[in-house]
């Protein structure tokens, strides 16, 4: 049974499926001729020719010269037109909004962070729409070029025993978020939790491009966990897999919830008790560079709880690696990775290991917003078939 092979069919597959298939083949190949796409996809050359003609008319593909090798006439080569479409991604947190626009090549062509006085649905949506309009104006593109949107919000989704935590967005209970934002944006919109989106961002353009099984510990307001298996997100029955911040771990004075010991909210509360305000990653980075004593004490106290969580993830999920990233300065993440006491009684402690057990993510504070937009890019280029036997 193969999980990474998706092929087309000439009649029974939908038009959308085959368009995604052809786009995906060209994206992976960089430039391809019609015969190459046909061989790779299982479609007939005539079907590929028709699809490519449609994609050219829609501005998604463009000619890239002709091949010079092989027998016969040189074949026209096609490539993704980066300006043919755009994906809008946004992360909404209590107190802040991050927005990003990707072109079809997956390049960030617009990004912005702004404060959010209130994160209720109407206020947050108005701010997000303003950022979308600003991106469209800055890029000089029509809104019709936006192929879809991704929105990241902190979990959990739906009423659960974890509801009413400090990391949640207020007043969103009972709202179908995907339908809400799809109507607001006027394009299909996917809604994901921050850790899952961050994990996908690393898979698309970060440190996990060569990994198929990995975990992503995401520092948002709290602490989340995104899981990737066979290159696909593990969401759980209701989209709440990975709510690791709410598990109990050993602390200096007894058991504590993980995100009470290891998270942005945790360090901010600790510093506030010592009369220090650090409202963002830049402020934390400055404190770390200055070797602030209170921050050093928090770091020391976070190591044992973090080590316990890492052992749980490794022994339950058996990842190739665990990636740490999100809204925390690189210097602090590097410090955690360098000093956390990794348990040798773990399935990850193996003699044939070729890479580190812990890796810092590559995408920084825009990780989740980038992941939101990456969901749209991935959906545009990947037929949604799970298994081929």
Given a contact cutoff of 8 angstroms between Cβ atoms, the answer to whether 84 and 115 are in contact is no
Q: Which of 36-45, 51-60, 314-323 tops mean pLDDT? A: 314-323
Which helix (H) or strand (E) segment holds residue 126: the answer is helix 121-139
What is the pLDDT confidence band of residue 253, given thresholds at 50, 70 and 90? confident
Residues 335-373 pLDDT 10s: 999 999 999 999 999 999 999 999 999 767 788 899 899
- What is the residue whose two structure tokens read 């809008």? 88
Residues 138-178 pLDDT 10s: 999 999 999 999 999 876 665 565 555 555 677 787 788 88
**Residue 9: both structure tokens together:** 């069919």
- For the entire predicted model, the pTM comes to 0.76
Residues 11-33 pLDDT 10s: 444 778 888 889 888 888 889 89
Give the pLDDT mean for 285-290: 97
d(CA 65, CA 74): 9
d(CA 149, CA 306): 33
What pLDDT sits at residue 16? 82
CA distances from 76 to 47, 49, 63, 216 (A): 16, 11, 7, 41
Residue-level length of the chain: 389
Give the pLDDT mean for 86-101: 92
Strand partners, 103: 86
CA distances from 221 to 18, 27, 85, 326, 368 (A): 40, 35, 32, 10, 12
Positive/negative CA dihedral, 375, 359, 306, 363: negative
What pLDDT sits at residue 1? 34
d(CA 267, CA 272): 8
DSSP code for 293: H
Pick from 70-79, 228-237, 300-309, 319-328: least confident:
70-79
Give the pLDDT mean for 198-215: 87
d(CA 312, CA 317): 8
Burial 75-91 (b: 16+ CB within 10 A, else e): bebbbbbeebbbbbbbb
Helices 264-273 & 293-317, crossing angle to 10 degrees?
A: 160
**Count of CB atoms situated within 10 Å of the CB of 365:** 22
Listed in sequence order, the residues at least 6 apart from 109 whose beta carbon sits closer than 8 Å to its beta carbon are 86, 101, 102, 103, 139
């Amino acid at each position: 049974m193969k999980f990474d092979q998706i092929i087309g069919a000439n009649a029974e597959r939908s038009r959308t499926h085959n368009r995604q298939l052809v786009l995906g083949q060209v994206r992976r190949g960089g430039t391809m001729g019609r015969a190459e796409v046909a061989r790779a996809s299982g479609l007939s050359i005539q079907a590929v020719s028709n699809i490519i003609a449609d994609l050219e008319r829609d501005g998604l593909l463009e000619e890239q010269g002709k091949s010079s090798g092989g027998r016969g006439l040189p074949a026209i080569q096609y490539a993704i037109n980066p300006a043919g479409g755009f994906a809008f991604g946004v992360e909404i947190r209590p107190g802040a909004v991050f927005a990003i626009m990707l072109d079809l090549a997956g390049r960030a062509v617009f990004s912005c962070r702004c404060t959010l006085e209130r994160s209720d649905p109407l206020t947050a949506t108005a701010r997000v729409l303003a950022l979308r309009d600003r991106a469209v104006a800055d890029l000089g593109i029509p809104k019709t070029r936006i192929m879809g949107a991704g929105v990241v919000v902190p979990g959990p989704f739906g009423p659960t025993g974890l509801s009413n935590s400090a990391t949640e967005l207020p007043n969103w209970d009972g709202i179908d978020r995907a339908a809400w934002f799809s109507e607001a944006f006027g394009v299909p919109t996917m809604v994901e939790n921050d850790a899952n989106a961050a994990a996908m961002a690393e898979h698309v353009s970060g440190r996990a491009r060569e990994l198929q099984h990995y975990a992503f510990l995401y520092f948002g307001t709290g602490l989340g966990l995104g899981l990737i298996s066979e290159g696909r997100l593990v969401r759980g029955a209701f989209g709440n897999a990975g709510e690791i911040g709410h598990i109990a771990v050993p602390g200096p004075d007894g058991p504590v919830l993980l995100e009470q010991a290891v998270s942005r909210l945790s360090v901010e509360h600790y510093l506030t008790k010592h009369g220090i305000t650090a409202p963002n990653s830049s402020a934390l980075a400055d404190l770390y560079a200055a070797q602030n004593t209170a921050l050093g004490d928090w770091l020391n106290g976070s190591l044992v709880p973090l080590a316990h969580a890492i052992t749980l993830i490794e022994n339950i999920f058996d990842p190739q690696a665990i990636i740490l990233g999100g809204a925390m300065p690189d210097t602090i993440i590097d410090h955690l990775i360098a000093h956390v006491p990794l348990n040798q009684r773990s399935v990850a402690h193996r003699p044939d290991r070729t890479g580190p057990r812990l890796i810092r993510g590559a995408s920084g504070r825009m990780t989740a917003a980038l992941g939101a937009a990456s969901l749209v890019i991935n959906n545009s280029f990947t037929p949604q078939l799970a298994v081929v036997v």
